[in-house]
Structure 1
């Protein structure tokens, strides 16, 4: 990751998740787990289609409280098993450009004592898209989703 990326286009979530790294990784990479935590309540994740490889699909459909579907199509750009996921909505499967690129997200997972340091760096294509993401509730939304992730990952411990 470039250290010179403009801060005015980047949002960061850095959390300690009280669960083992392998469980947090599973929650991010297994569709049947992803749909259980990915969208902060009262929204939900209707479906997840994951092809875990560079260039593979990372598609989700979120549902708002009124039942409306919100599809999000993207691909993985880089994967280091158990340690890092990089995905974007700027392209879809087959590296086809999307009509409205918004962000590239880099997630890292590292062991910290008996927990996982979970860091999400979300880089936006413009200052305006970063501001829009903030106004949509990036920090409270991603933190609420991280709470849901932690709860599910803890349950996988056994």
Structure 2
């Protein structure tokens, strides 16, 4: 997919199958094991892969911080593509604060590796800049390392 003006993108080849990476993204008990860079961690993950289904979790910080995230699945192509957004709550209820749409693509490379691309598409330049300042590249990069390590164990 073409990058848009307000996108932040992490793309790298991972030494894991697309099937294993897909499981890590779509099985709540696995998502909780890698989704935030340590020492942060995730609890209460809920994933319903039907369009409009819930995609939610709570990100927890080492100092007791809690950041609940609630959104919906827009598209799910098993083993290939997952698109979620916080623009809606389950039931297609508009969110109070839409921040981004996330698109994950997985492309098997034929040698046991997968081209993994995570795109964070923001509604505005301000939201993109806020996400960059929060540490998008470092945080999503560290989480990507954790994702790859977990996928290698499956």
**TM-score of the two chains, using structure 1 as the length reference:** 0.93
CA 1:31/1:111 → structure 2, altered by over 3 Å: closer, same or farther?
same
Measured after TM superposition, the shift of residue 4 of structure 1 is: 7.5
Count of paired positions = 153
User: Structure 2: any 5+ residue segments left out of the alignment?
Assistant: none
| 1-structure distance, mates of 2:102, 2:46 | 17
Instruction: Confirm whether residue 31 of structure 1 aligns to residue 25 of structure 2.
Output: no
1:133 maps to what in 2?
131
| 2-structure distance, mates of 1:80, 1:127 | 29
| 1-structure distance, mates of 2:44, 2:149 | 20
Among 139, 149, 152, the residue aligned to 1:151: 149
1:119 maps to what in 2?
117
CA 1:79/1:140 → structure 2, altered by over 3 Å: closer, same or farther?
same
1:5-154 to structure 2, matched below 5 A, reads: 5-6=4-5, 9-112=6-109, 113-154=111-152
**TM-score of the two chains, using structure 2 as the length reference:** 0.96
Query: Helix, strand or coil: the match of 1:54?
Result: coil
Greater helix share, structure number: 1
Question: RMSD over aligned Cα, in angstroms?
Answer: 1.1
CA 1:68/1:23 → structure 2, altered by over 3 Å: closer, same or farther?
same
